[in-house]
């Protein structure tokens, strides 16, 4: 390990490790947050109407939800620990303000989420119906407020507020400013609706597969009036008439959620962008490849991106005025470019890293580069929007394609619908990579209207006692375990999807015989591991 | 009041760690017993379903202890976690495997699938119990920290006899506590076998924890921690009598009380130190030099006052809901998921 790590900077490995583990964790999180409320809706519809399809939908989506949820739990523990593990200097610097939302998240959100989800899973058949639904609502409420608290913590790194500087450290003096940080409010809403975009595509893609399967197996057909004729196949557990109603409902529900979520994503994203032009102008200039102060937006730019002086970036397609509109709401107020911002940053935060290798490692004494890696910010920003928009357009098309009451027979459309599940995941990941890498070289970005001196360079944040070899060990260990478990999760998701609704309701496989009472003995658990 | 806040938070963090050990202690133990004490697949499923509804809620005690340490004592959090980098990464890997295994174990088609995840649960429980025990022991006996609070001496500088002692202490306690829990929460062969484990294995399992507690208490030499230690010993004797009399509820409660007083004696003895430096006591981390500002401590105190009683109430209610013993006859047959697809023509 030492040989491998020779020549590698601990900082670089630590950043890759944080990036990989966090993006990975955020594959599971949006599905948990987005699907949870959908299941609450389905279960409450079932309670109210007694309609079999809502019961089945609750069970089926609940099963997939749990297969995914556990991966979020398992990888979430790493998130809570890794600030102290690899980023001890960061933890020391920000602990007075950053630790509080993490402690609140654990105490107020995680306990709620985990305890009540356990009650919901094992509460089938044991708890009265209303109480059983309440346990799910409380668990999902826990998930949502945990998102709020962790985004409060993250937003403090983007836009530090509510602190004063005491002996060179930020000390919290206003918790309400921290909890009410405008960056946090909009980022939370944006993340929340982004999670619904994920669950919408998930519902749509999987329901599409089920309806396609029913047509493929000759269960559903299209009649002479161009409407679906719903059939059943008693030889396949669960493939009855209620099955069709379940999937058609879930498909349409998913499409509507995805479309509405995208609308809300543009609104919340626009508000975030406007704030970010004020709070981190460098990030936004880099996102737009705006080298010089301008009012125009770039739709396509090329150039030698890594030359950070920005003189080689060429705008290929530019639309006048739109950048100003996005940033300021009018078409004429110019937005500052990178070439104008860099001298400002140099004047405020220095031109070179202090020559102190014990704090800054290999970065000590070097010129500070204030421009984030532009291909990442520029394309990250555009990929986020593109994936989100694609998913919404596809959902609209899906609503039209299913107007006959089922899906077309074409296999490629089904494959597209299933692969399309990945689009909002990719959009979410691109958005996070953009906003976190756009904050560099700062780990705590300075607040232009905040207290002077409250900022931290990422280079100064790693653990001095942790070597490159140790970091490489953990990166390889965590990375390979994460990869293997992703495969396992996908295998299980595929297996349960292919099993149809009977994979979540085993009773459908053994219909009660004439000589049995049709009910399981009272003391057999409705659910058991 | 403001001067007392760091001490109050030291006590709260001691409570969180103790709560974690009492609660997740038994489910880590159950995890290990699934690997070493179960005789059949039915045994393993009975065991797993005793902790099924509650293990995740128990694990949050660990997250909360970590988060509260970060918020209340950032310097303690930073030095302890970065100093114990390798063992804590192993703990994380253990906890990841364990969590995923609990959920995925029953979702396979072959005995090999179940066997693999049984190993993941058993080894994952062992590694996390050992690592957390080592970490807790080292925070009471110290690490080679420099003036900045960073560990010196390389990636294994933490590896001492104390680390092993603490690791064995928590593993031993978890095994015994898990056995008590299974005796209390199951019916059938598992109950019988687990109730029979107390003698002579019980003493062996508790020995490392007892040695660690006595060591710390004697080194500190405070009269009232001797008193709590004596109470802990009384609890251990009560546990022995109860388990020999096959009074499963009393045995479980006595062992939990033993842990509470044992861990209380340890935390009380090391106060006001939170993480000593073995290089120079001038560099020791204490409740005063490692803590957050009074404002921050005040804020999280309010949150804890509201949150902690609520958590205790609804977790206690959960245990009440799932109070029935799990017997082999309660376990539904293993469900194999088959594709809902018409046979190809």
Distance CA A295, CA A279 (A): 18
Distance CA A2, CA A468 (A): 8
Does position A519 have pLDDT exceeding 70, yes or no?
no
What tens digit of pLDDT does each residue of B111-131 get?
999 999 999 999 999 999 999
Is residue B336 in some structural domain? no
Distance CA B250, CA B36 (A): 25
Distance CA A163, CA A23 (A): 29
Question: Which residues, 6+ apart, have CB-to-CB distance to A270 below 8 Å?
Answer: A326
Mean of the per-residue pLDDT values of chain A: 89
Nearest CB to B89: which of A67, A104, A477? A477
Q: Which two tokens stand for residue B136?
A: 């807790």
Helices (H), A420-465: 422-437
Residues B138-156, mean pLDDT to the nearest whole number = 91
Among residues B102, B227, B122, which one has the least CA distance to residue B174? B122
Is residue B192 in some structural domain? yes
Contact residues on chain A for B99, CB-CB shorter than 8 A? 70, 73-74, 77
DSSP state of A520: -
Determine how many CB atoms are found less than 10 A away from the CB of residue B1.
8
- The number of C-alpha atoms within 13 Å of A186 and in the hemisphere containing its C-beta is 16
Question: Which residues, 6+ apart, have CB-to-CB distance to B1 below 8 Å?
Answer: none
With cut-offs at 50, 70 and 90, classify the pLDDT of residue A518: very low
pLDDT of residue A522: 62
Is residue B228 in some structural domain? no
Distance CA A118, CA A120 (A): 5
DSSP state of A354: -
Contact residues on chain B for A502, CB-CB shorter than 8 A? 337-338, 340
Does position A512 have pLDDT exceeding 80, yes or no?
no
Domain that holds residue B44: 2-220+266-330
What tens digit of pLDDT does each residue of A410-440 get?
999 999 999 999 999 999 999 999 999 999 8
B250, B269 contact by CB (below 8 A): no
Does position A473 have pLDDT exceeding 60, yes or no?
yes
Distance CA A425, CA B283 (A): 47
Nearest CB to B107: which of A97, A123, A492? A492
Confidence (pTM):
0.93
Does position B281 have pLDDT exceeding 80, yes or no?
yes
Among residues A360, A285, A368, which one has the least CA distance to residue A327? A285
* CB–CB contact A102 B303 (8 Å): no
Nearest-CA distance from B178 to chain A in Å? 18
B319, B55 contact by CB (below 8 A): no
Interface check B63 vs A, CB under 8 A: yes
Determine how many CB atoms are found less than 10 A away from the CB of residue B193.
18
- Whole-Å CA distances, B327 to A55, A386, B49, B182, B332: 28, 54, 10, 11, 11
Question: Which residues, 6+ apart, have CB-to-CB distance to B168 below 8 Å?
Answer: B130, B133, B208
Determine how many CB atoms are found less than 10 A away from the CB of residue A482.
19
What tens digit of pLDDT does each residue of B51-83 get?
999 999 999 999 999 999 999 999 999 999 999
Q: Which of A281-295, B97-111, B323-337 has the highest mean pLDDT?
A: B97-111
Give the 3-state secondary structure percentages of chain A, helix then strand then coil, rounded to 5: 65, 5, 25
- Return residues 92-151 of B near A (CB < 8 Å): 92-93, 95-97, 99-100, 102-107, 148-151
Question: Which residues, 6+ apart, have CB-to-CB distance to A476 below 8 Å?
Answer: none
Q: Which of B84, B103, B187, B275 to mutate to test the interface with A (most CBs of A within 10 A)?
A: B103
Is residue B209 in some structural domain? yes
Is residue B259 in some structural domain? no
Contact residues on chain B for A156, CB-CB shorter than 8 A? none
pLDDT of residue A3: 47
What is the DSSP annotation of A157-200?
Answer: HHS--SEEEETTEEEE--HHHHHT-HHHHHHHHHHHHHHHHHHH
pLDDT of residue A474: 95
pLDDT of residue A1: 42
- The number of C-alpha atoms within 13 Å of A448 and in the hemisphere containing its C-beta is 11
Nearest CB to A114: which of B45, B60, B326? B60
Is residue B229 in some structural domain? no
DSSP state of B336: P
Q: Are strands B285-286 and A297-302 parallel, antiparallel or unpaired?
A: unpaired
Nearest CB to A213: which of B64, B79, B341? B341
What is the DSSP annotation of A270-297?
Answer: HHHHHHHHHH-HHHHHHHTT--S-BSPE
Predicted complex ipTM: 0.93
Name the closest residue on chain B to residue A212, using Cα atoms: B341
pLDDT of residue A302: 66
Distance CA A430, CA A419 (A): 17
**Coil vs helix vs strand at B31:** helix
Nearest CB to A110: which of B54, B60, B329? B60
Question: Which residues, 6+ apart, have CB-to-CB distance to A192 below 8 Å?
Answer: A33, A144, A147
Is residue B226 in some structural domain? no
With cut-offs at 50, 70 and 90, classify the pLDDT of residue A373: confident
Nearest CB to A529: which of B105, B150, B299? B105
Nearest-CA distance from B82 to chain A in Å? 4
Is residue B20 in some structural domain? yes
Contact residues on chain B for A166, CB-CB shorter than 8 A? 293
- Return residues 273-292 of B near A (CB < 8 Å): 292
Q: Which of A111, A127, A220, A240 to mutate to test the interface with B (most CBs of B within 10 A)?
A: A111
- Return residues 8-47 of B near A (CB < 8 Å): 45
pLDDT of residue A2: 47
* Number of structural domains found in chain B: 1
Choice between A307 and A235, residue whose per-residue pLDDT is larger: A235
What tens digit of pLDDT does each residue of A107-126 get?
999 999 999 999 999 999 88
DSSP state of B324: S
* CB–CB contact B311 A528 (8 Å): no
pLDDT of residue B197: 82
Burial class (CB within 10 angstroms; exposed 0-12, middle 13-18, buried 19+) of A483: exposed
What tens digit of pLDDT does each residue of A47-76 get?
999 999 999 999 999 999 999 999 999 999
């Amino acid at each position: 390990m030492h040989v491998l790590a020779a020549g590698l900077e601990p900082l670089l490995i630590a950043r890759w490790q944080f990036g990989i583990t966090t993006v990975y964790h955020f594959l599971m999180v949006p599905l948990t947050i987005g699907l949870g409320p959908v299941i609450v809706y389905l279960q409450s519809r079932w309670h109210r109407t007694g309609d079999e399809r809502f019961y089945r939908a609750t069970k089926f989506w609940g099963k997939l939800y749990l297969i995914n949820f556990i991966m979020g739990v398992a990888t979430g523990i790493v998130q809570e620990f890794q600030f102290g593990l690899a980023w001890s200097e960061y933890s020391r610097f920000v602990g007075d303000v950053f630790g509080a939302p993490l402690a609140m998240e654990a105490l107020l959100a995680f306990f709620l989420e985990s305890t009540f989800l356990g009650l919901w899973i094992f509460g089938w058949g044991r708890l009265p119906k209303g109480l059983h639904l309440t346990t799910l609502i409380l668990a999902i409420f826990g998930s949502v407020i945990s998102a709020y608290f962790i985004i409060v913590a993250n937003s403090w790194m983007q836009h530090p507020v509510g602190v004063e500087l005491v002996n060179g450290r930020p000390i919290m003096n206003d918790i309400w400013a921290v909890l009410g940080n405008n960056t946090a409010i909009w980022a939370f809403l944006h993340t929340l609706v982004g999670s619904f975009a994920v669950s919408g595509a998930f519902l749509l893609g999987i329901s599409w597969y089920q309806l396609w399967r029913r047509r493929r197996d000759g269960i559903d057909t299209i009649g002479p009036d161009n409407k679906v004729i719903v059939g059943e196949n008693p030889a396949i557990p669960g493939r009855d008439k209620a099955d069709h109603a379940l999937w058609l409902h879930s498909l349409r529900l998913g499409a509507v959620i995805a479309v509405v979520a995208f609308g809300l994503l543009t609104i919340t994203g626009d508000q975030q962008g406007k704030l970010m032009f004020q709070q981190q102008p460098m990030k936004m200039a880099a996102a737009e490849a705006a080298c010089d102060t301008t009012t125009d937006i770039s739709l396509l730019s090329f150039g030698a991106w890594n030359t950070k002086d920005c003189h080689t970036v060429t705008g290929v397609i530019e639309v006048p005025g739109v950048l100003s509109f996005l940033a300021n709401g009018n078409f004429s107020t110019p937005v500052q470019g990178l070439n104008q911002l860099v001298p400002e940053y140099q004047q405020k935060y220095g031109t070179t890293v202090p020559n102190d290798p014990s704090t800054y490692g290999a970065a000590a004494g070097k010129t500070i580069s204030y421009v984030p890696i532009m291909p990442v910010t520029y394309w990250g920003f555009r990929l986020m929007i593109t994936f989100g928009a694609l998913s919404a357009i596809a959902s609209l098309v899906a609503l039209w394609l299913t107007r006959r009451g089922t899906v077309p027979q074409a296999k490629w459309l089904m494959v597209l619908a299933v692969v399309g599940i990945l689009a909002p995941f990719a959009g979410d990941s691109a958005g996070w990579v953009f906003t976190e890498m756009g904050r560099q070289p700062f780990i705590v970005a300075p607040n232009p209207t905040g207290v002077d001196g409250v900022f931290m360079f990422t280079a100064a944040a790693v653990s001095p006692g942790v070597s490159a070899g140790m970091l490489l060990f953990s990166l390889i260990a965590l990375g390979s375990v994460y990869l293997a478990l992703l495969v396992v999760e996908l295998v299980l998701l595929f297996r349960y999807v292919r099993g149809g609704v009977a994979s979540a309701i085993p009773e459908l496989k053994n219909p009660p015989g004439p000589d049995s009472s049709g009910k399981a003995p009272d003391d057999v658990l409705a659910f058991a591991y | 009041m403001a001067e007392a806040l760091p001490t109050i938070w030291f006590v709260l963090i001691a409570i969180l760690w103790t709560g974690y050990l009492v609660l997740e202690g038994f489910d880590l133990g159950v995890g290990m017993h699934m690997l070493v004490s179960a005789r059949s697949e039915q045994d393993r499923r009975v065991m797993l379903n005793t902790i099924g509804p509650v293990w995740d809620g128990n694990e949050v005690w660990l997250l909360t202890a970590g988060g509260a340490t970060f918020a209340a004592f950032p310097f303690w959090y930073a030095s302890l976690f970065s100093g114990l980098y390798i063992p804590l990464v192993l703990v994380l890997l253990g906890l990841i495997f364990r969590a995923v295994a609990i959920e995925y174990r029953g979702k396979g088609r072959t005995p090999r699938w179940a066997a693999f995840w049984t190993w993941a649960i058993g080894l994952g429980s062992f590694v996390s119990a050992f690592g957390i025990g080592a970490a807790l022991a080292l925070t009471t006996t110290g690490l080679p920290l420099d003036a900045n609070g960073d560990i010196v001496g390389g990636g294994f500088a933490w590896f001492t006899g104390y680390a092993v002692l603490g690791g064995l202490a928590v593993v031993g306690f978890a095994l015994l506590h898990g056995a008590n829990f299974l005796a209390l929460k199951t019916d059938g062969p598992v109950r019988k076998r687990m109730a029979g484990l107390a003698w002579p294995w019980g003493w062996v399992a508790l020995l490392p924890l007892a040695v660690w507690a006595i060591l710390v208490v004697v080194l500190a030499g405070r009269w009232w921690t001797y008193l709590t230690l004596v109470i802990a010993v009384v609890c251990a004797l009560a546990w022995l009598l109860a388990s020999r009399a096959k009074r499963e509820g009393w045995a479980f409660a006595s062992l939990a009380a033993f842990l509470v007083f044992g861990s209380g004696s340890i935390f009380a003895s090391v106060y006001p130190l939170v993480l000593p430096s073995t290089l120079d006591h001038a560099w020791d981390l204490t409740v005063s030099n490692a803590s957050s500002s009074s404002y921050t401590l005040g804020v999280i105190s309010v949150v804890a006052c509201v949150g902690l009683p609520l958590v205790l109430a609804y977790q206690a209610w959960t245990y009440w809901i799932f109070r029935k013993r799990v017997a082999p006859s309660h376990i539904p047959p293993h469900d194999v998921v088959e594709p809902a697809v018409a046979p190809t023509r």
